[in-house]
C-alpha cells in the first residue's frame, strides 16, 4: 500500500527550484512524499511549489516502482492518491505495470449526470427523516475524453444538516462493494496527512534553507532517516499502550529529553538514569527491543 501526496514547504531565500505559489501566497517547494500503509516513509522528492502534472507524476511513480520491484519482485502494490494524481498518464502507467490503484476523481458535468437520480432520491429521503447524515453509493463505468478506456468509478453521495456533498473515486479493483472501497480503503489515505505532519512539524523537515537543490534534497533524506528512527521506536512500544499511538514530539519529550549521565567506554556506552525516572520501565523495554542481535 503506497500513499502518494505532496505538501507545501515555504522558503525565505533564493534557493534553487523555489517557485511562487499563489494559493499559499509564498515562495517555496512542493515535495512529493510517499508512505506505505503502516506509516513508513518510502521516499521524498524535492520539486517546485506547484502541483505535479501527469507526466511528472508518472515518471516519479515509475522510478519508485522500479526500485521496489528490484528488491521485492513478487510484491503486489496498491496506490492511493488524491484526484490531482488521477491523470491519463498515471492511469495508463498503472495498467501497464499491473499496479492496483484507488484515486480520487474530480467532479464534472458528465459524472454528475450519472448520479443525478441518486442525489435527488437521497435528498428526498433525508427530508423525510432529518437528523443524521445519509450516505449512499453508486458504482458505474466512466471514461473521460482523455482516458484510453473506461474504468470503474464510485460515487459517494452524502446529505446532512450542512447540505449535499458528492465525491468520486476511480479504481481498477474488480471486487468489493463501493461503500467498502470508499470508506475503508480510499478514506484511510487521510492518515498520510498525519504522517506528513510528523515529518514536517515534529521533525522539522521543512528546513530546506540550503541554496542548492541537491543539498535540500539531502536534507529531506536526512529528515526521512529521522522519521524512520522515531517510527521504529514507536513500533517497539507495547501494542496496547498509548505510546504506540503517540506523536513523535510526545515521544521525544518523554523518552529523550531526560537528565542522564552518559559514559563512553571502549566497547559500550553506559547511560545512567535518575532513580526517579518516570519512564524507566518503558525505557528498559525499548533498550531490549531495539538492541542489536547478539553474535554467536
pLDDT digits (tens, 9 = 90+) for 116-148: 999 999 999 898 887 788 999 999 999 999 999
Cβ-Cβ contacts under 8 Å for 95 (sequence gap 6 or more): 172
pLDDT digits (tens, 9 = 90+) for 138-188: 999 999 999 999 999 999 999 988 888 999 999 999 988 999 999 999 999
> 3-class DSSP state for residue 217?
helix
- For the sheet containing 2-6, what is the strand order? 41-45, 32-36, 2-6, 78-81, 100-105, 163-171, 151-160, 134-142
Cβ-Cβ contacts under 8 Å for 155 (sequence gap 6 or more): 111, 114, 115, 118, 137, 138, 139, 140, 166, 167, 168, 178
Question: Kind and range of the H or E element at 136?
Answer: strand 134-142
Give the pLDDT of residue 181: 95
pLDDT digits (tens, 9 = 90+) for 103-113: 999 999 999 99
Nearest alpha-carbon partner for 49 in 192, 283, 213, 172: 213
Give the pLDDT of residue 235: 94
Q: Alpha-carbon distance 2 to 85, whole Å?
A: 13
Specify whether the CB–CB gap between 237 and 247 falls below 8 A. Answer: no
DSSP string covering 276-291, please? T-TTHHHHHHHHHHHS
- What pTM, to 2 d.p., does this model score? 0.87
Low-confidence ranges of the chain (pLDDT < 50): none
Beta-carbon count within 10 A of 159 CB: 21
Backbone angles phi, psi at 118, to 5 degrees: -65, -40
Beta-carbon count within 10 A of 8 CB: 15
Residue 79: strand pairing partners: 2, 101
Give the pLDDT of residue 7: 94
Give the pLDDT of residue 293: 82
CATH numbers and ranges of domains, the chain: 2-228 (3.90.350.10), 242-290 (no CATH)
In the numeric block, the cell 496496547 is attached to: 240
Amino acid at each position: 500500500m503506497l500513499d502518494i501526496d505532496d505538501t507545501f514547504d515555504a522558503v525565505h531565500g533564493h534557493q534553487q527550484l523555489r517557485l511562487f505559489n499563489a494559493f499559499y501566497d509564498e515562495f517555496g517547494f512542493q515535495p512529493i512524499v510517499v508512505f506505505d500503509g503502516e506509516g513508513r516513509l518510502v521516499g521524498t522528492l524535492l520539486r517546485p511549489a506547484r502541483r505535479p502534472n501527469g507526466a511528472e507524476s508518472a515518471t516519479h511513480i515509475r522510478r519508485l516502482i522500479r526500485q521496489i520491484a528490484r528488491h521485492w519482485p513478487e510484491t503486489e502494490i496498491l496506490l492511493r492518491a488524491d484526484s490531482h494524481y488521477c491523470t491519463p498518464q498515471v492511469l495508463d502507467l498503472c495498467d501497464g505495470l499491473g499496479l492496483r490503484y484507488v484515486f480520487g476523481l474530480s467532479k464534472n458535468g458528465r459524472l454528475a449526470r450519472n448520479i443525478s437520480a441518486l442525489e435527488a432520491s437521497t435528498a428526498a429521503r433525508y427530508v423525510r427523516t432529518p437528523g443524521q447524515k445519509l450516505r449512499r453509493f453508486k458504482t458505474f463505468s466512466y471514461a473521460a475524453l482523455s482516458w484510453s478506456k473506461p474504468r470503474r468509478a464510485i460515487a459517494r453521495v452524502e446529505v446532512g444538516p450542512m447540505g449535499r456533498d458528492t465525491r468520486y473515486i476511480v479504481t481498477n479493483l474488480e471486487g468489493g462493494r463501493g461503500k467498502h472501497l470508499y470508506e475503508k480503503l480510499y478514506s484511510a489515505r487521510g492518515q498520510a496527512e498525519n504522517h506528513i505532519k510528523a515529518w514536517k512539524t515534529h521533525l522539522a523537515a521543512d528546513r530546506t534553507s540550503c541554496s542548492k537543490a541537491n543539498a535540500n534534497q539531502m536534507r529531506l533524506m536526512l529528515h526521512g532517516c529521522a522519521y524512520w528512527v522515531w517510527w521504529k521506536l514507536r513500533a517497539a512500544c507495547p501494542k496496547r499502550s498509548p505510546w504506540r499511538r503517540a506523536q513523535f514530539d510526545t515521544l521525544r519529550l518523554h523518552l529523550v529529553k531526560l537528565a542522564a549521565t552518559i559514559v563512553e567506554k571502549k566497547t559500550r556506552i553506559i547511560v545512567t538514569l535518575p532513580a526517579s525516572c518516570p519512564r524507566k520501565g518503558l525505557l528498559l523495554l525499548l533498550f531490549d527491543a531495539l538492541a542489536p542481535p547478539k553474535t554467536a
